[in-house]
Chains A and B, each alone.
Chain A
Amino acid sequence: MFELLGLPLDASAHGPKLDQMTVVVHWLMLFLFVGWGSFFAYTLVRFRKGRNPKADYTGVKSHVSSYLEVGIALFEAVLLVGFAVPLWAERVNEFPADADAIVVRVVAEQFAWNVHYPGPDGIFGRTDIKLVSAENPLGLDREDGDAKDDIWTVNQLNLPVNKPVIIRLSSKDVIHSFGLPLFRVKQDVIPGEVIPLWFTPTMTTAQIIEASTKTVSISAADTSNTVLLAMVAQADYATTDGTAILARGDSMTPEAILFLVKAGIKEVKAVHSTPAEIACAQLCGLGHYRMRGFVTIQTEEEFKAWLAEEASYL
Chain B
Amino acid sequence: MAHVATAGHAVHDAAHHEEELTFIRKYVFSQDHKVIGIQYLITSLLFLFFGFSLMMLMRWQLAYPGQPIPFIGGLLGEANAPGGIMLPEFYNQLGAMHGTIMVFLGIVPLAVGAFGNYVVPLQIGAPDMAFPKLNMMSYWVYFVGGVTMLASFFLPGGAANSGWTSYAPLSVVATTGQTAWLFAMVFLITSSLLGSVNFIVTMVQLRAKGLTFTRLPFFVWAQLVTAFLLLLAFPPLEAAGVMQLMDRLAGTSFFLPSGLVVAGQALDVSGGGSPILWQHLFWFLAHPEVYVLILPAMGIVGEVIANNTRKPLWGYKSLVYASIFLGFMSFIVWAHHMFLTGMGTVISTFFQTTTMIISIPSVIILTAFFISLWGASIRFNTQMLFALAFLPMFGIGGLTGLPLGLAPTDTHLHDTYYVIGHFHYVVAPGTIFALFAGVYHWYPKVTGRRMSDTLGKVHFWGSLVCMNGIFMPMFIQGLAGVSRRLYDGGQQYAHAQGVLQWNEFMSVAAWSLAVFQLPFMINFFLSIWKGRKVENDNPWEATTLDWATPTPPPHGNFARVPEVYRGPYEYSVPGHPTDFFPQNEPEPAKG
Contacts and interface: CB of A to CB of B under 8 A. Distances in A.
Q: Do A and B bind each other?
A: yes
Interface of A: 5-8, 17-19, 21-22, 25-26, 28-29, 32-33, 36-37, 39-40, 43-44, 47-49, 52-60, 65, 68-69, 72-73, 76-77, 79-80, 83-85, 87-89, 91-93, 109-110, 129-130, 132-134, 139, 172-175, 177, 179, 181-182, 184-188, 190-193, 195, 226-227, 230, 272-277, 279-290, 292
B480 A7 contact: yes
Interface stretch (B73-81, B106-114, B256-264): B256-264
Given A109-B261, A287-B88, A69 B367 contact: yes
- Listed residue (B258, B359, B413, B483) with the most chain A CB atoms within 10 angstroms of its CB: B483
A288 B495 CA distance: 16
12 contacts: A32-B399, A36-B392, A43-B374, A47-B377, A52-B375, A54-B572, A54-B579, A55-B377, A91-B408, A129-B261, A175-B169, A279-B483
Nearest to B344: A92
Contacts of A43: 370, 373-374, 376, 378
B263 A18 contact: no
B414 A281 contact: yes
A172 B265 CA distance: 10
A133 B375 CA distance: 74
Interface stretch (B234-242, B286-294, B345-353): B345-353
Contacts of A40: 370, 373, 391-392
A181 B495 contact: yes
Contacts of B499: 6
Interface string B347-376: 011001100100110011011101111111
A282 B314 CA distance: 43
A242 B431 CA distance: 63
A190 B341 contact: yes
Nearest to A109: B261
B173 A174 contact: yes
Contacts of A73: 356, 360
Given A52-B377, A59-B372, A89-B345, 17 more contacts: A7-B480, A21-B406, A32-B395, A36-B367, A43-B376, A57-B571, A59-B371, A60-B374, A80-B352, A92-B343, A179-B483, A181-B481, A186-B415, A187-B340, A272-B497, A275-B495, A282-B415
Contact of A55 (B260, B352, B356, B572): B572
Given A186-B340, A281-B483, A88 B348 contact: yes
- State the main secondary structure of chain A at its contact with B: mixed
Interface in B311-365: 311-312, 314, 340-345, 348-349, 352-353, 356, 359-360, 363-364
The 3 A-B pairs of least Cβ separation, nearest first, read A192-B257, A56-B375, A181-B481
B493 A47 contact: no
Contacts of B488: 289-290
